């Protein structure tokens, strides 16, 4: 019953009942919304960065966010500050990318944000009503899909290096690109279902209060995945319509 989200996978090893303050749904919810707010604010502020710093921000913010996520995952004591650092880094990274794309395709930012929020709400409703649960079959499907995506991306990268024309032909295949992106959005939605289930298990196991930050970070990683792929989908559709 392993989770596909690396943060939640790490939490599965912490089956220890603790005394005192323990993780609660309210605590997880408040911390998740806080991280979302921090991401949105830092993303908005990225619009005011000088143009000459944009390339540096894209590289630096991405690296810092990745390191922060790893530290939060393996060192629970610093999960709170590292989760905030992750949110700031991802906000700057995707905020900068979004503002650049917004200048080229007006409306792409709002569409991606609304799409991400809509998927979150729909999956939350489906989970809370019992229509969709984090079964072992769903876990196997998501994990298998993620492995397939990873191996497929690696194979395409290698083939593109060996034969550049292959990479060009692949990237120019509009229908295939749309299909792959839609598939990744669906996988992201299923990942949310598993995240909801894992959060419930963390609360039911009575894990310590600080694990709320790790759970909230797990949700953020999935939401960033969904946002990126919706953004990519909208850009491809708008670019096609402009031609």
**pLDDT confidence of residue 155:** 78
Q: Largest alpha-carbon pair distance within the chain?
A: 62
Rounded to an integer, what distance in angstroms lies between the CA atom of residue 150 and that of residue 184?
A: 12
Q: Bridge partners of 208? A: 22
pLDDT at 7: 56
pLDDT at site 160: 73
Q: Do 25 and 71 meet the contact criterion of CB atoms below 8 Å apart?
A: no
Q: How would residue 119 be classed by pLDDT, with cut points 50, 70 and 90?
A: very high
Nearest CA to 33 out of 225, 216, 175 is that of 216
| Average pLDDT rounded to a whole number, residues 89-101 | 92
Query: What's the mean pLDDT in 57-66?
Result: 87
The pLDDT of 206-212, averaged and rounded, is: 88
| Closest to 29 (Cα-Cα) out of 226, 163, 202 | 202
Q: Which residue has the higher pLDDT, 154 or 119?
A: 119
* pLDDT tens, residue by residue, 167-187: 666 667 778 889 889 999 999
pLDDT value at position 1? 43
What's the token pair of residue 202?
């963390």
More reliable by pLDDT, 238 or 139? 238
Please give the angle made by the CA atoms of 210, 216 and 218, to the nearest 5 degrees: 110
Answer yes or no: is pLDDT of 223 > 90.
yes
pTM of the full structure = 0.85
CB within 8 Å of 119: residues ≥ 6 apart: 185, 188, 189, 192, 226, 230
Domain residue spans of the chain: 6-238
Percent of the chain at pLDDT exceeding 90? 45
Kindly report the backbone phi and psi dihedral angles of residue 22, in degrees, each rounded to the nearest multiple of 5, phi listed first.
Answer: -125, 165
Task: Note the pLDDT of residue 32.
Answer: 94
């Amino acid at each position: 019953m392993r989770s596909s989200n690396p943060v939640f996978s790490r939490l599965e090893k912490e089956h220890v009942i603790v005394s005192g303050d323990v993780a609660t749904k309210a605590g997880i919810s408040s911390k998740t919304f806080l991280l979302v707010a921090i991401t949105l604010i830092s993303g908005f502020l990225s619009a005011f960065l000088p143009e000459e710093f944009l390339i540096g921000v894209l590289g630096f913010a991405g690296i810092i966010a990745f390191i922060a996520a790893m530290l939060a995952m393996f060192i629970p004591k610093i999960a709170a500050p590292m989760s905030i650092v992750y949110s700031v880094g991802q906000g700057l990274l995707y905020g900068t990318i979004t503002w650049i794309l917004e200048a080229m395709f007006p409306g792409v930012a709002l569409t991606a944000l609304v799409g991400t929020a809509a998927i979150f709400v729909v999956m939350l409703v489906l989970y809370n009503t019992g229509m969709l649960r984090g079964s072992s079959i769903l876990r196997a499907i998501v994990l298998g899909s993620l492995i397939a995506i990873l191996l497929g991306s690696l194979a395409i990268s290698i083939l593109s290096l060996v034969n550049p024309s292959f990479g060009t032909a692949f990237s120019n295949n509009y229908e295939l690109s749309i299909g792959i992106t839609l598939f990744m959005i669906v996988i992201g939605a299923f990942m949310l279902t598993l995240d909801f289930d894992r959060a419930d298990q963390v609360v039911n196991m009575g894990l310590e209060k600080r694990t709320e930050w790790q759970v909230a970070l797990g949700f953020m990683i999935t939401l960033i995945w969904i946002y990126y792929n919706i953004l990519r989908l909208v850009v491809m559709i708008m670019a096609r319509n402009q031609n």
